């Protein structure tokens, strides 16, 4: 849900964690997703959204050159050594793999 908000609609909930999502059962029995903690939001333009998505895609794929491109555009180029570190990239891939396994465990 948070990814769709950010990458599709350019709308950022500034405290995106599972504790801010509530699954409610409606009167008819259907589930309803309720987003909590509406303290701070930010909208991003399409160009920023593109480069933010490029950064995450590049981190997951280990694409060092595009990590630099995205970091430069997002004005965090000084973070490039951290972002391009192999252990950091491995950690992201490990977390994403774990999420995919959990999401598909009952399928």
60 C-beta neighbours (distance < 10 Å), count: 14
Whether 36 and 21 have beta carbons less than 8 Å apart is answered as yes
> Is 37 annotated as catalytic?
no
Can you tell me the distance from the alpha carbon of 53 to that of 76, in angstroms, rounded to the nearest whole number?
14
Choosing from 15, 30, 37, 63, the catalytic residue is 15
Residues designated as active site: 15
């Amino acid at each position: 849900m948070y990814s769709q908000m950010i990458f599709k609609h350019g709308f950022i909930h500034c405290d995106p964690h599972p504790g801010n999502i509530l699954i409610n059962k409606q009167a008819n029995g259907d589930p309803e997703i309720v987003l909590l903690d509406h303290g701070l939001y930010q909208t991003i333009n399409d160009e920023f959204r593109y480069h933010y998505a490029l950064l995450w895609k590049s981190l997951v794929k280990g694409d060092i050159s595009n990590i630099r491109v995205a970091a430069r555009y997002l004005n965090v180029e000084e973070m490039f050594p951290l972002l391009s570190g192999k252990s950091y990239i491995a950690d992201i891939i490990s977390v994403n793999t774990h999420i995919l396994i959990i999401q598909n465990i009952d399928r």
